[in-house]
Structure 1
Amino acid sequence: MTRGLARAVLGIDRITTQAALLAACFALAVAVTAGAWQVFTRFLLEAPSPWSEALVRQALVWMVLLGVAGAIRQGSLVAIDVARMALKGRARLVLDIIIFAAIVLLFAVLFWFGWEMARRVRFQSIAGLEVSIAWGYAAIPVGSVFAIIGALAALVDRSPGKDHATEGQV
Structure 2
Amino acid sequence: MKKQLFAIVTAAIIGMAGCNSGPKGGQSHENGQKDDQNISHQHADDALAETQGLKEAENPTYPVGSEAIVKSGHMAGMKGAKASIVGAYDTTVYEVAYKPTTGGKTVRHHKWIVQSEIKNADNKTLAPGTEITITADHMKGMKGAKGKVESSKKTTVYMIDYQPITGGKEVKNHKWVVDDELSKP
TM-score range, shorter chain: under 0.3
- Greater RCO between the two (CA within 8 Å, min separation 6)? 1
Larger Rg: 1
* Bigger helix share: 1
Which structure dedicates a bigger proportion of its chain to strand?
A: 2
TM (norm. structure 2) is 0.25
